[in-house]
Structures are given as structure tokens and as C-alpha cells.
Structure 1
Amino acid sequence: MNQAEKDIILEKAQKWFKNSIAKNHITNTEKLKNASEFDINPFLAVYLSNFLTGKAKPEGIAKALVYPRALGTSITTSFGTNIQRFTNDVLSSFGSTTSGIDIEFIDQINKNKIYCQLKSGPNTINKDDVETIAGHFTKVINLGRTNNLRITHNDMVVGIIYGDRASLNGHYKRIINDYHYPIYIGQDFWHRLTGDENFYTDLIHAIGEVAAEADYNEELEEVISELANTPDVRKLSK
């Protein structure tokens, strides 16, 4: 892969993050003006308000409710659920027509043809997903035999776009230990895909340029203020 091709991926990644992640994040944050968006635990809400601000006033309670959602759960979920759009928008040149496979590429380290299921992060699958992934991979290997194509376990890979091997959850480790399929994660994945050992860092910096534009401070304060003035929050204050 040459520099021009790498630059195209970086540019597409920036557009994907801005259009799929940042926009959805703002939309989901706006919804937090309504108390109905929360399953409010009155004991924890008051405690967390005191923990965060030193008092249990409506604004503190609202902050204790909004911050975890706006800065954690909401955008993390959005990032994970948009992985298919990432595949289509950013890695379309590697797209696969094989059922159960997201992308196909030549591993730039060992030069093998790779059939890859793409995942967003190191904690994004559960127990049932392991069997599903293994089932897809087995079908591809069997299809290869039927068509006289030599496809081995080492050619069937789970690619994870961020993280490192130490952060893999137990379900991913089962794919490696029980089913003997490789996992490429973070820097290793992007190195094998592009041939550039530093591409992962370049990708993080490219996304960071979009993040630098994400000044939503005033709007976030407005969300907190409106939530603080809802009856469900005000009745918890003292």
C-alpha cells in the first residue's frame, strides 16, 4: 500500500468519525435534557451529586446523571454500533463478498490472504458471539475445501481496530485458545493491513483533528441546566 492509499484511509476515517460518531453523539446528548432518558436511582443520584459537587442540588444531580452518559456510555455504544459503517465507509476497498466476513486483505507481514471479521474494541463481544464467529470461520474453511482453495485457521482472523492484546476480554481469548483463530488488534491490525508500523498512531492523530473541533461545552451546560429544572430531578435535591 502506498502513501496515497494510506492518506485516503485516514481521510475517510476522519469523515466517518465526524458523520457517524460526532453527530450521533450530539443528538444523543441533546436527549438527556429529559429525565425520562434516565432510570434514576434516587439514592445513587444524591450520593453522586455530593461526591461530584459537594452538595445535592439539582444542577449537581443533573451533572451526575449526564456526565456518565454523555462522556461514556453514549459515545462508546455509538462507536461500537457503527463498526459496519466503518467497514463500508473507510475500508470499502477491502470489502468481502464472502458470507460472515467483513474484509479480505493480504497480510503485509506474512503475505497470507486474510479473511477478517472486524470488531471495534477489546471488550465488544459476548459468549454467544464467540460461537457465531467460529461458525462463520468454519464455513469459510469448508467452502475453500469444496472449491479447492487452501484456507487455514491462520487465514481466518478477528481484526480489532483499537486496543492491545493485554486488554482483550475473556471471550476474545476463547477465540484464540479454544478455537485457535488469530486476533489482530490495534497497532498490529493496522500494520498488517497497511504495511505501515506507525499507521495506528497516524489514525489516532487523524481522528484527534476531528475531536479538536468538538467544543460542545456551552450546549452541554444547557442540557444539564434543563435537566436540573425537571420535576424528577428537583424533588431529589435538598
Structure 2
Amino acid sequence: MPPTLSDHIYQFVEKNIDGFHKRRLERLKNLKLNEVLKRKNPYLFKAKNLHVAHDLVKMLLDAFLSSHEETIFGEFMEQLAIFVCNQVYGGRKSSSEGIDLEFEKDGVIYLVSVKSGPNWGNSEQIKKMRLAFQKAIRTLRTNQPNINVRAVNGCCYGKESHEYGDYIKICGQEFWTFISGDERLYLDIIEPLGHRAKERNEDFQKEYARIVNLFTEEFTKDFCRDGYIDWEKLVEFNSGKQQSSKKQQ
């Protein structure tokens, strides 16, 4: 029996998911407490009425790691989407700058900018995507002026679906169906993504516990006084005015 699309997806995930786990572990190992403290809002954590150094450090670390993991896993999901479309419609990484996927279906050439979720960018980033679509379409129509081209912002999760005139936005089930023709695919990819996840997370959890303990010790030394969190010192470290330095002439 020839391999099915699900078989191909299993093989792709098995081959590539380790990259996600290795990158998140590497980021954790190389992380410094000062980097975390400078990138998160100290006022927010004060408003949560935190008093225990360990709790504050853990919450700061979790918030920092969550943002990073969202980014690198989003990149993996974008690669998976391109792979799926290649298997079904011969989709390929577009040669046009800013376009992730290009494929033809039912006489239409689709230019797709693949994003992790629906709330991926601000107005300037969306404008940049639109300009990339316009440039790619002009290039395609240079030698084929009557070619039928559609621009698509496809999101790997979410429920949004909108027509914006110069491009359409589709998310979640609708997106995975669009690039595969399979309405169940958005559910079927869950299982391969979870394959051996517990085993792959063991090293991360060990390192995570070590980092939390080390950061708690360092934080207590630098930002606690008489056993209490010194919020003024913490906020000053995070947001205090930098000392200006004059350059030598």
C-alpha cells in the first residue's frame, strides 16, 4: 500500500520536530537572568501582588520562554504547511521575497504568506506583506498578463476568514483544507506533533528546574533586602534612565 498523506506528515514531523526541542533547550541553557528582567514588564508582576522571589522568577521565566517558543514553533508549523501543500498540489517555497508558498489549484496561482496565528502583526507589518504580494503579482504578470493570481494570508490556527480586496485571510481548519483538500487535516496533525513529546521534554524540564533555582538564588542576592523583594531596585534596573557616555573626539 502506498504511503498516505498522514504517513508523509508523520515522517516529516519525526524528522523535523527535534529541531524545535533542541532550539528551545539551547535558548534555556544560554539564558541570563538580566536578559529576562529587562524584557518583561515589572509593573505587571507587582500588580499581581507577588512577594516570593521563587514565584516571581518562575513567572518571569515562563512568560519569556512562552514568547520564544511561540516564535520557533510557528516557524515549524509554517514549514509543515509548505510540506503538506507540496505533497498535494506540488506547492513550493516561492522565489518572491516575502512570500512563503506558491502553488496552483483549479487554474489559479496562489501566493501565500504563512503565519502561525491570526494576530501576527501590526499595521506596518501588514503593509509590508501587501507590498510583497503586489510586487510578486506584478512579476508573475510580466510575461503572462492574463494569469489568474490570488494572494492569501494563511494562518495555522484561529477562526478568522476575511476578504481584504487585494488579499484574503484564512485561518485554522479552513487554511489546512485550502492547502491539502482535507477537512480533517487540522485535527489529524495533532497526533504526530505529540509523538514522543514526553520523552523529548525530559531534558528540558531538568534544565528548567536548574535555571529556576539558579535564577532564584541570583535574584534574591541582587533584588531582595531583608528577605523582601526590593521593587524599586528591580524597576530601576528594568526602566531607570541610562547614564549617557560621551564619545572621545
- Secondary structure of 2:141's aligned partner: helix
Structure 2 residue identity aligned to 1:182: I
Q: Over alpha carbons, which structure has the higher Rg?
A: 2
Asked whether the 8 Å contact 1:62–1:225 carries over to 2, the reply is: no
Task: Report how far residue 11 of structure 1 moved.
Answer: 2.5
- For the pair 1:94 / 2:88, whether they are aligned, the reply is no
Q: Are 1:48 and 1:61, in contact at CA under 8 Å, matched by a contact in 2?
A: no
In the TM superposition, what is the alpha-carbon distance from 1:141 to its structure 2 partner?
2.8
- Asked if 2 retains the 8 angstrom alpha-carbon contact of 1:96 and 1:104, the reply is yes
Q: How far off is 1:59 after superposition?
A: 1.8
Residue by residue, what CA displacement relative to the aligned partner does 1:42-101 show, whole Å, maximum 9, x if unpaired?
A: 665566473xxxxx233223222222223x222113234566755777766622444133
Report the Cα distance in structure 2 between the residues aligned to 1:221 and 1:31, rounded to whole angstroms.
14
- Structure 2 residue 224 is matched with structure 1 residue 226: no
Percentage identity across aligned positions? 24
Structure 1 contact 49–60 (Cα < 8 Å) conserved: no
Query: Residues 33, 235 of structure 1: CA spacing in aligned structure 2 closer, same or farther, 3 A cutoff?
Result: farther
Instruction: Tell me the number of residue pairs that the alignment of Structure 1 and Structure 2 aligns.
Output: 218
Q: 1:77/1:144 Cα in 2 relative to 1: closer, same or farther (>3 Å)?
A: closer
Preserved contact between residue 85 and residue 180 of structure 2 (Cα < 8 Å): no
* Contact 1:103-1:117 within 8 A present in 2 as well: yes
Name the counterpart of 2:244.
none
Does structure 2 retain, via aligned residues, the 8 Å contact 1:49–1:64? Answer: no
Which residue, out of 105, 113, 130, partners 1:134? 130
Distance 1:143 1:33 in 2: 46
Task: Choose 189-198 or 140-149, whichever is displaced more.
Answer: 140-149
1:143 to 134, 139, 143: 139
For 1:55-66, list aligned pairs within 5 A: 56-66=51-61
Residue of structure 2 aligned with 1:161, choices 156, 164, 174: 156
1:131-164 residue CA offsets vs partner (Å, 9 max, x unmatched): 22222222333333331253346x2212222222
Looking at secondary structure, tell me which structure has more strand per residue: 2
Provide the residue aligned with 1:38 in structure 2: 37
Q: Does 1:119 align with 2:105?
A: no
Q: CA deviation at 1:128?
A: 1.7
What runs of 5+ residues in structure 2 fail to find an aligned partner?
229-249
- 3-state SS in 1 of match to 2:170: strand
CA RMSD of aligned residues (A): 3.2
SS at match of 2:189: helix
- AA matched with 1:23: K
Structure 1 position 67 matched with structure 2 position 62: yes
TM (norm. structure 2) is 0.71
Work out whether residues 122 and 162 of structure 1, in 8 Å CA contact, stay in contact via their aligned partners in 2. yes
SS in 2 for 1:212: helix
Q: Deviation per CA, 1:180-238: give whole Å up to 9, x if none.
A: 31123221121121221111111122212243332343332221111111122444842
Q: Which residue number in structure 1 is paired with residue 102 of structure 2?
A: 104
| Residue identity opposite 2:69 in structure 1 | I
TM-score (normalised: structure 1) = 0.73
| Structure with greater proportional helix content | 1
Unaligned ranges ≥5, structure 1: 51-55, 167-172
Letter in 2 for 1:232: D
CA offsets per residue over residues 6-39 of structure 1, 9 Å max, x none? 42234213433321x2211122223446344322
Please, which moves more after superposition, 76-85 or 3-12? 76-85
- Alignment CA distance shift 1:111-1:6 (3 Å): farther
SS at match of 1:105: strand
Distance 1:157 1:68 in 2: 31
